[in-house]
Amino acid sequence: MTIAPQVTIAKPQPKLTGRFRTSFVVAWFFCVIFYFLQYAVRSAPSVMLPELKSAFALDTLGLSSLIGLYYYTYSTFALIAGAALDRWGGKYPISFGTALLAAGIALFGLGDQNLAGLGRLLQGAGAAFAFTGAVYLAAHGFPRRYLATAIGITQCVGMLGGSAGQFAVAPLIHGVVSWQNFWIYASVVTFVVAVILLFVTPPLDADEKFKSSIWTMFAPYKIVLSNPQTYLCGLCAGLLFLPTTAGSMVWGVSFLREGWGLPYTEAVDRAAMVPFGWVIGAPALGYVADRIGLRKPALYFGVVLMLFSMAAILYLPPNSAPHYLLAFLLGFGSGAAMIPYSIIKEANPDEVKGSATGAINFLVFVLSAAGAPAFGWLLQKFAGGAALQLPDFVEGGGSMIAVIILGGLAALFLKETGAATHKPLAGQ
């Protein structure tokens, strides 16, 4: 292959082994806390939309675009984060990303529209190091047979943060602190985590050190992006993410309040069940995929469950199903979006695992960056400039069913990479 001479410049990285490496597992634990925090601040705007509309003087499309700025830098910095991890290890890139997130959180709480936009951009840039860093540390700290489970737990805790960003933040900003102060306090907590990560994350192993031009840190992407499976993994995961990132985590509370007419507190609690479903679904489906040694059956199950629950939410009469159940099932099924993260790492060489995660994050959140304002535009178009009502949400929600179907179609073309398809390496 023409890229063969180029891959020799990539530094050697330790292959996944059959043992735990405690220092990396400890660092992974704190990086998971970082991931929890970034998900909490990602979803928190959904419970303060009226306050944000008033403070920033924005309409539905404008507010959706402001919140969606997060995904533009997240997708871009996902590539940078993956390359930085492959070149410098986790110590400095991950702590830098956490500090960047802390700065962006503080700016969003200052109450100025321009600073809020800058803050949202910085939040996305910093947050890009969270999941990519956690996967990098997990790949170094856990045996191969536990990798998909560790990734599932990582996403589980992240989505718990997404749920907390709704059910925990809502009562805070309506009785304990103002919405602006919430962002300031969250910034302080995030900065403390950044300092902890700087001290506990192991430096790059001596046999991994790599001295050459900084531009060579992007060389692994020549391998990752020349693999068609990379694009299929990104497309599949990105489409299955959209109902939560561009749908539930932004407009879920508004759908339940303005569409179903639920009280604010109940609407927040029900919407929070979608990311909470992830808390259970991501590790459960990851465990099943590890247990049976096949990735795609668990992925297909998640797609079918998402279709069923999304259609029921949109087209069944309000409250015709047990409260909280359909939202939970939607989140549980959407946890399958993490399975392509395992596939992409198994479909690419070990020495580019950080870049592989960066590449899929880039592709996933490019779709989210485009999907968030597009969904807001659809809602505004169906409402005709008037206040949003149930028919507007139902018509707009039909696009989410379409993207789930497309995600399922993309999954059909993924190659099975589970352990059952090849003979395990010695000691694994």
Q: What is the pLDDT of residues 323-354, one digit of tens each?
A: 889 999 999 999 898 899 888 888 888 777 76
Residue 161 domain-assigned (yes or no): yes
Task: Find the range with the poorest average confidence among 173-177, 322-326, 406-410.
Answer: 173-177
Give me the pLDDT at residue 352, please: 76
Residue 10 domain-assigned (yes or no): no
Whose CA is closest to 349, among 2, 113, 16? 16
**For residue 274, what is the domain's CATH number?**
1.20.1250.20
In terms of residue numbers, what domain contains 197? 20-204+219-416
Give CA–CA dist 205/402, Å, rounded. Answer: 46
Question: Confidence class of residue 426 from pLDDT cuts 50, 70 and 90?
Answer: very low
Residue 428 domain-assigned (yes or no): no
**Which tokens go with 233?**
């993994």
Question: Confidence class of residue 252 from pLDDT cuts 50, 70 and 90?
Answer: confident
Count Cβ atoms below 10 Å from residue 2 Cβ, excluding itself. 7
Residue 3 domain-assigned (yes or no): no
Give me the pLDDT at residue 160, please: 82
Residue 6 domain-assigned (yes or no): no
pTM of the model: 0.73
Give me the pLDDT at residue 391, please: 84
Give me the pLDDT at residue 216, please: 63
Residue 8 domain-assigned (yes or no): no
Give me the pLDDT at residue 237, please: 92
Can you say whether residue 384 is alpha, beta or left, with left for phi > 0 and alpha for psi between -120 and 50 degrees?
left
Residue 303 domain-assigned (yes or no): yes
Q: What is the mean pLDDT of residues 135-155?
A: 79
Give CA–CA dist 205/319, Å, rounded. Answer: 55
Give me the pLDDT at residue 196, please: 95
Q: Could you tell me if 224 and 352 are in contact, meaning their C-beta atoms sit under 8 angstroms apart?
A: yes
Give me the pLDDT at residue 14, please: 45
- pLDDT digits over 85-112, tens only? 877 888 899 999 999 999 999 999 888 8
Give me the pLDDT at residue 302, please: 95
Number of structural domains found in the chain: 1
Average pLDDT over all residues of the chain: 82
Give me the pLDDT at residue 2, please: 33
Residue 231 domain-assigned (yes or no): yes
- Residue written as tokens 């870049």? 355
How much of the chain, in percent, has pLDDT values that exceed 70?
90
Q: Could you tell me if 61 and 53 are in contact, meaning their C-beta atoms sit under 8 angstroms apart?
A: no
Q: Which residue has the higher pLDDT, 190 or 176?
A: 190
Q: Which of 5-19, 136-150, 252-266, 301-315 has the highest mean pLDDT?
A: 301-315
